Amino acid sequence: MINRIYLKDCLSFKEIDLEFNKGLNVFTGPSGAGKSILMQAILSLFAQSDVKASLGEVLISDSKIVDDLYDLDLNDEIVIKTIKKEKVRFFINNQTISKKNLNMFSSKLIKHLNLKDISDFESSKLLNFLDKLSAINNTKFIEIKENFDLLYKDLIVVKKELEKIKNDELRIEDLKEFAKFEIEKIEAINPTLDEYEELNLLKRKLSKKDKIEDAIKDASEILNYRHSVSNTLELLEVESSFFDETMNELNNIFEQFNDSLFELEDIDIETVLNRIEKLSSLQKRFGSIELALEYKEEKKKELLSYDNITFEKSVLEKKIEKLTEEINQLSITISLYRKKSVLILEEKINEYLKFLYLSNAKITLREKKLDSYGIDEVYFELNGVNLNTISSGEYNRLRLALLTSMSEFDIIENGVLFLDEIDANLSGKESDAIANVLSTLAKSYQIFVISHQPQLTSASSQHFLVDKKDGVSTITLLSKEERINEIARMISGEEITSNAINFAKNLLIKK
């Protein structure tokens, strides 16, 4: 509930500082005093109207809102603040919040009913309520509905998979041709691991072949003096084995290189260079020969999957058929429970409509294409006509009957309700009926309403007078005596009569 509201420099109001109780809070006052400005200013604190005040603050308790983002636990108080300078800034418990996010946040708590708002009669909202009512009346319904929700989620996932396959199927030939082309391009080169490095080593050998041959030829001259050196060492009586071993090692090295150079005789340098160039192109595209080979294997798997797509499609289609059959059966069962709940809700609404001098509200479930809500769509009629054609007064009273009925079943999320001139242009008995219904609804909601009739005003738990003098609006919480005078003014006008005073007293005694 809203405990306190503070507003500063809000159009004709210099300052507003109000505390509120639970129940029905009514604002009255002469035309042009600023009642609508006040209502819009309060709504602006919840980002449901444009901010006009330079500073605004609202204190909320018992909201039952848990929000990790703003560090709110179940029983925490909430302070929402607005500051308007060059631009408007919003805060929740001193944390900044955007207008859009504040609007979404406050929608959990604040309900603003105006003639443009038809959301209470939306099929989806009414179906959710009927499901809650069905769950209260039969616990088996909970299991059925949960099973339906799980299967429907599975159905959506499988349908998306099938849709993807169908889209792939449309371009399957292009995908297959591309995969084949990529595989053939790599297989045409047919690279092996480490081949690129080995060929580059061979290239270096080939480029130095002639130089190595000439160098070995020149160096081999030393071997012609091998015996002369050995004889000299023998005459000198020096051990010659070290020299003989060195010459043998040197000769072996020269022979090995000559053999390897001989093997290069049959290798075409142009062929090697062309092969290196092809491998180099794969290196540049994929980063390495290893990655190129991995890519080829991936494309082979893709090609295999394209070949299997017809089978996969068939499997998914059968799965969808089975899921749809199960979901349809559950939908029919759910619909039967809802039809029972419709009768209960319809009877309760018509009970309240009798108090509101209306009757014959009819709620019908019509079959529609299966969606996440099942196969039902809710249609509302009043006296056999669509709600689009009824008067605003009838519409307001029907909406009150619906909300009060829902609150009586104790399965709505209670909060704060703002009503726009709910009793405007109504007769005395109609106003009295609305006052009685709002008194019942106020057990579930904290209600803020502008009233033009004494009947609703006298039913309030708090009565505030909005007045204006010299262009400045003020608001005052009225005492019992002051309430009598204000209600009398509403009855007789500015010239308050004794009859009006007595009538006002009697109204307050009855309430």
Instruction: Please give the C-alpha separations between residue 64 and each of 60, 72, 202, 328, in angstroms, as whole numbers.
Output: 10, 9, 80, 37
What is the per-residue pLDDT for 177?
87
Q: Is residue 45 pLDDT above 60, yes or no?
A: yes
Render pLDDT for 142-172 as a digit per residue (tens, 0 to 9).
Answer: 999 999 999 999 999 999 999 988 887 777 7
Mean pLDDT confidence for 314-330: 95
Residue 379 pairs in a beta bridge with 364
Q: Is residue 269 pLDDT above 60, yes or no?
A: yes
What is the per-residue pLDDT for 99?
93
What is the per-residue pLDDT for 463?
96
Q: Is residue 26 pLDDT above 80, yes or no?
A: yes
**399: in domain:** no
Angle, helices 309-355/289-307, rounded to nearest 10 degrees: 70
Q: How much of the chain, in percent, has pLDDT values that exceed 70? A: 96
The SS3 call for residue 104 is: helix
Mean pLDDT confidence for 479-503: 90
What is the per-residue pLDDT for 218?
83
CATH assignment of the domain containing 461 = 3.40.50.300
Cβ atoms of 20 and 463 within 8 Å: the answer is no
**184: in domain:** no
Q: Is residue 412 pLDDT above 60, yes or no?
A: no
Q: How much of the chain, in percent, has pLDDT values that exceed 90? A: 45
**23: in domain:** yes
Confidence of residue 332 (pLDDT cuts 50, 70, 90): very high
Q: Is residue 411 pLDDT above 60, yes or no?
A: no
Mean pLDDT confidence for 6-14: 95
**292: in domain:** no
| 118 against 319, higher pLDDT | 319
Give which of 478, 506, 503, 496 is closest to 28, Cα–Cα.
Answer: 478
- How far is it, in rounded angstroms, from Cα 71 to Cα 99? 19
What is the per-residue pLDDT for 47?
93
Q: Is residue 320 pLDDT above 60, yes or no?
A: yes
Mean pLDDT confidence for 282-293: 90
What is the per-residue pLDDT for 400?
86
Q: Is residue 193 pLDDT above 70, yes or no?
A: yes
Instruction: Please give the C-alpha separations between residue 157 and each of 153, 323, 380, 438, in angstroms, as whole numbers.
Output: 6, 11, 33, 46
What is the per-residue pLDDT for 341?
95
**342: in domain:** no
Residues 404-414 as b/e (b if ≥16 CB within 10 A, e otherwise) read bbbbbbeebeb
In this structure, of 2-6, 256-260, 342-346, the range with the lowest mean pLDDT score is 256-260
What is the per-residue pLDDT for 235?
84
Confidence of residue 67 (pLDDT cuts 50, 70, 90): confident
What is the per-residue pLDDT for 266?
66
The SS3 call for residue 74 is: coil
Confidence of residue 203 (pLDDT cuts 50, 70, 90): confident
What is the per-residue pLDDT for 469?
93
Contacts of 445 (CB under 8 A, 6+ apart): 111, 403, 407, 414, 415, 416, 417
Count: domains in the chain: 1
- How far is it, in rounded angstroms, from Cα 53 to Cα 473? 13
What is the per-residue pLDDT for 108?
81
What is the domain range of residue 17?
Answer: 1-109+415-422+444-478
DSSP state of 411: -
Residues 222-253 as b/e (b if ≥16 CB within 10 A, e otherwise) read eeeebeeeeeebeeeeeeeeeeeeebeeeeee
**267: in domain:** no
E-strand ranges in 270-321 read none
Mean pLDDT confidence for 454-459: 91
Q: Is residue 413 pLDDT above 60, yes or no?
A: no
Give which of 464, 461, 454 is closest to 505, Cα–Cα.
Answer: 454
Q: Is residue 28 pLDDT above 60, yes or no?
A: yes
Confidence of residue 313 (pLDDT cuts 50, 70, 90): confident
| 265 against 437, higher pLDDT | 437
What is the per-residue pLDDT for 128?
92
Sheet holding 2-10, edge to edge: 95-97, 88-92, 78-84, 55-60, 2-10, 13-19, 472-477, 462-469, 24-28, 446-450, 416-419, 110-113
User: Six-digit token pair at 374?
Assistant: 């099942």
In sign, the C-alpha dihedral spanning 442, 444, 449, 452 is negative
Instruction: Please give the C-alpha separations between residue 337 and each of 124, 136, 153, 365, in angstroms, as whole numbers.
Output: 16, 11, 21, 11
Confidence of residue 311 (pLDDT cuts 50, 70, 90): confident
Render pLDDT for 390-407 as a digit per residue (tens, 0 to 9).
Answer: 887 788 888 888 988 888
- How far is it, in rounded angstroms, from Cα 195 to Cα 189? 12
Q: Is residue 475 pLDDT above 90, yes or no?
A: yes
Confidence of residue 492 (pLDDT cuts 50, 70, 90): confident
**339: in domain:** no
Q: Is residue 445 pLDDT above 60, yes or no?
A: yes
Render pLDDT for 208-224 as a digit per residue (tens, 0 to 9).
Answer: 767 777 787 888 888 88
| 71 against 202, higher pLDDT | 71
Q: Give me the half-sphere count of Cα atoms (radius 13 Å) on the Cβ side of residue 284.
A: 6
Cβ atoms of 171 and 302 within 8 Å: the answer is no
The SS3 call for residue 424 is: coil
What is the per-residue pLDDT for 195?
86
**145: in domain:** no
Looking at 82-139, list the stretches that DSSP marks H as alpha helix, in order from N- to C-terminal side.
99-106, 123-137
Render pLDDT for 232-251 as a digit per residue (tens, 0 to 9).
Answer: 888 888 888 888 888 888 88
